[in-house]
Structure 1
Amino acid sequence: MGRLLCQGALYAVWKKVMKPPMTLDRVEYAIALFRALPTLFPSQTAPPKKLGHASVALLHVLQQSEDPTIYLQKRSLSSPVLLFDGSNCHITIGTSPVTTFAKEDLSEGLLYLMGYYYTFHLTYPKCVATLLSVIQTEILEDCIHKRDTTASYKKAMAEWKDFIGKER
């Protein structure tokens, strides 16, 4: 995951989508990256209006006054999500918490999410399907069926491979 974070950050700068401030700590940097990744690998389908930005399909940072149970009940997606409350990270599926881990491991949260998609054979939310498909094929090195390769996935992969070629 560390390699993904570094390549993702370089790729983001290359795409001029995100210029990560050097003053961010590890947790803040992971949050910034979670928020930028769906923009780097956009899907053709917009997120539900209630959701706002596509990154909220992956990560929601709870405000101090925000009740996680109420947030999950109002959430328009039932897919796995990483909740961060400032001190711990929680993976939930629907309204059920399934895993809690330390905030220092927030950067590993995307791999935890992918693990739940694999374990329970869940379908990716359409608003982040391209990003999760890229992680599946490039990070986890698992192929996807040709019929699942959308135009946005093909475009993202072409840009990614072009970038990787330039990096070396």
Structure 2
Amino acid sequence: MGELRRLLDKDNSYSIDEMKERWQDFCQKVQFYGVWKKMLKPPLGMEKGKLWILRVLPSLFPSPPAPPKKLRDASESLLHVLEEKEDPSSYLKKRPLPCPVLIVSSSSCLLAIGDAPITTFPKQDIAEGAIYLMANYLPFTLHTRIIQTEILLDTIHEKNLTPSYKKGMAEWKAFVGQ
């Protein structure tokens, strides 16, 4: 929370804009990284707009433990796109995870924690949805830690440097030339 307060400090008026720029740069690098790891194939699935990044992060940066088997895909831990007649309340009641999730409908997005809706925002602001998600995500896993370190520019405490995080970050840093 201290890191988030620092970022949102009223005297730090450029932090959100800078974070959005880093997010755009990160998304471009992740496209190529996903192709390099043979997890994405050109044309990279960009037809679904900005949702692809939240879908691919758990695969590119897997985290031990594996997600519950009730989830169709690891990306369901971060994001769920509602089917045409699916109700967000029904989805939240049957969701097996208590962590924050972005739920996307045809016109809007909903941030929820467990089965409790927190806020809604227009679908065109989905890129900012990742920031909303991070602000509410307490049990940081590797696929959210990559956002924490690359977008928020936070450092990870030594005790959180798991072997999978170290391996994933070493591959990422080698790929981006750092």
Q: Matched residues in 2 for 1:133 and 1:157: separation? A: 10
Which range moved further: 11-20 or 148-157? Answer: 11-20
Residue 136 of structure 1: aligned partner: 148
Structure 1 residues without counterparts, runs of 5 or longer: none
Using the size of structure 1 for normalisation, the TM-score is: 0.86
For 1:152, the aligned partner's letter is S
Identity of aligned residues (%): 49
Residue of structure 2 aligned with 1:154, choices 156, 166, 170:
166
Shift of residue 97 of structure 1? Answer: 1.4
Shift of residue 36 of structure 1? Answer: 1.2
Residue of structure 2 aligned with 1:62, choices 40, 61, 82:
82
Q: Matched residues in 2 for 1:78 and 1:38: separation? A: 17
Structure 2 residues without counterparts, runs of 5 or longer: 1-22
Shift of residue 14 of structure 1? Answer: 1.5
1:97 aligns with 2:117: yes
Q: Matched residues in 2 for 1:89 and 1:165: separation? A: 35
Q: Secondary structure of 2:99's partner?
A: coil
Identify the structure with bigger relative contact order (alpha carbons < 8 Å, sequence gap 6+).
1
Once the two structures are superposed, residues 98-153 of structure 1 have per-residue CA deviations (whole angstroms, 9 ceiling, x without a partner) of 12112112122211100123xxxx223xxxx1111121122211112111111110
Q: Matched residues in 2 for 1:109 and 1:55: separation? A: 14
CA contact 2:26–2:150 (8 Å) conserved in 1: no
Matches within 5 A, 1:45-124: 45-117=65-137, 122-124=138-140
Q: Matched residues in 1 for 2:99 and 2:45: separation? A: 32
The number of residue pairs the alignment matches comes to: 156
Shift of residue 22 of structure 1? Answer: 6.8
CA contact 2:112–2:118 (8 Å) conserved in 1: yes
Q: Matched residues in 2 for 1:23 and 1:161: separation? A: 24
Once the two structures are superposed, residues 59-87 of structure 1 have per-residue CA deviations (whole angstroms, 9 ceiling, x without a partner) of 00011221111110111111110000111
Q: Matched residues in 2 for 1:29 and 1:17: separation? A: 18
Once the two structures are superposed, residues 27-66 of structure 1 have per-residue CA deviations (whole angstroms, 9 ceiling, x without a partner) of x132222211111111121110111311000000011221
Aligned-pair Cα RMSD in Å = 1.7
CA contact 1:20–1:29 (8 Å) conserved in 2: no
